[in-house]
């Protein structure tokens, strides 16, 4: 985001409500020092997370008391439990690209996440399309998630190759949905089984 600085003067906009990109908690972020009025209705300043165990720092841009930009940006929150390290590392790059508005790069890293999943589950084939087909014989998933994997593959192809045009464009709308599907896929593959085991572990034992 570019701000045109017309003039600079001290101001006090007050706290802003947002989600902390460091700890993931929502709250009211208090002002550090003074805000700067940079012209028009825009103010720049610093805020601090109210969580005493976090106290993370934010740079913010406020317009008429509404938060319009923050850095670090918000990131999609997801549970990493039981997901293999290599897959988490790859998907984290997709999350970072998404949070900074690099949507083409995010699509490519989502596709790479699928490749990591196929490798971890030892799916075979000459390309990702064939490996996703092979995956059907190795794991149990709702058909909708298998179809979503193929759509994510196609979206990644469009992002990586100029000549591929299955999707008209790759914007926040497409990538928001792609990220949501990928999170659901990771849950289904790596977390539902352990969650069910935990639930069953709470049942009374039969004497």
163 by Cβ neighbours in 10 Å (0-12 / 13-18 / 19+) ranks as exposed
- The residue-averaged pLDDT of 12-33 equals 91
For residue 197, CA distances in Å to 122, 163, 186, 201 come to 24, 47, 17, 6
- The residue-averaged pLDDT of 149-154 equals 92
Residues 6+ apart with CB under 8 A from 16: 28, 29, 47, 60, 62, 67
State yes or no: pLDDT of 8 exceeds 80. no
Which of 15-29, 152-166, 188-202 shows the highest mean pLDDT? 15-29
Q: How many residues does the chain have?
A: 207
Q: Is 133 helix (H, G, I), strand (E, B) or coil?
A: helix
- C-alpha count within 13 angstroms, C-beta hemisphere, residue 95: 18
Q: By the 8 A CB rule, do 15 and 47 touch? A: yes
Give the model's confidence band at 204: pLDDT under 50 very low, under 70 low, under 90 confident, else very high.
low
Give the model's confidence band at 149: pLDDT under 50 very low, under 70 low, under 90 confident, else very high.
very high
Q: What is the pTM of this model?
A: 0.79
The first and second tokens of residue 127, run together, are 């390309």
- The residue-averaged pLDDT of 126-139 equals 91
Which residue is associated with the tokens 């014989």? 137
Domain assignments of the chain as residue spans, ordered by start: 9-71, 85-199
76 alpha carbon, distance to own chain's centre: 3
Q: By the 8 A CB rule, do 39 and 6 touch? A: yes
Helix 85-99 to helix 172-190 angle (10° resolution) is: 160
For residue 33, CA distances in Å to 12, 13, 47, 67, 92 come to 9, 11, 9, 17, 33
State yes or no: pLDDT of 24 exceeds 60. yes
State yes or no: pLDDT of 202 exceeds 80. no
Q: By the 8 A CB rule, do 141 and 123 touch? A: no
pLDDT per residue as tens digits for the range 41-63: 899 999 999 999 999 999 999 99
Q: By the 8 A CB rule, do 185 and 147 touch? A: no
pLDDT per residue as tens digits for the range 99-129: 999 999 999 999 999 999 999 999 999 999 9
- The residue-averaged pLDDT of 9-24 equals 88
Return the CATH class of domain 85-199.
mainly alpha
pLDDT per residue as tens digits for the range 79-107: 899 999 999 999 999 999 999 999 999 99
Residues 6+ apart with CB under 8 A from 183: 76, 78
Give the model's confidence band at 141: pLDDT under 50 very low, under 70 low, under 90 confident, else very high.
confident
């Amino acid at each position: 985001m570019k701000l045109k600085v017309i003039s600079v003067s001290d101001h006090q906009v007050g706290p802003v409500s947002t989600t902390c990109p460091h700890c993931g908690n929502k709250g009211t972020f208090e002002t550090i020092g003074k805000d700067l009025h940079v012209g028009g209705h825009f103010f720049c300043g610093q805020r601090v997370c109210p969580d005493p165990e976090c106290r993370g720092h934010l740079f913010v841009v406020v317009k008429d008391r509404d938060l319009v930009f923050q850095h670090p940006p918000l990131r999609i929150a997801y549970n990493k439990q039981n997901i293999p390290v290599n897959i988490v590392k790859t998907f984290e790059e997709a999350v970072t690209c998404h949070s900074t508005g690099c949507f083409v790069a995010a699509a490519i890293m989502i596709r790479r996440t699928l490749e990591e999943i196929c490798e971890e589950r030892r799916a075979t084939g000459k390309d990702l399309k064939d490996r996703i087909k092979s995956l059907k014989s190795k794991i149990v998933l709702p058909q909708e998630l298998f179809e979503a994997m193929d759509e994510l593959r196609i979206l990644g192809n469009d992002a990586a190759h100029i000549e591929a045009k299955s999707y008209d464009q790759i914007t926040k709308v497409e990538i928001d949905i792609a990220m949501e599907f990928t999170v659901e896929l990771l849950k289904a593959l790596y977390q539902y089984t352990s969650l069910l085991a935990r639930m069953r572990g709470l049942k009374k034992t039969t004497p």
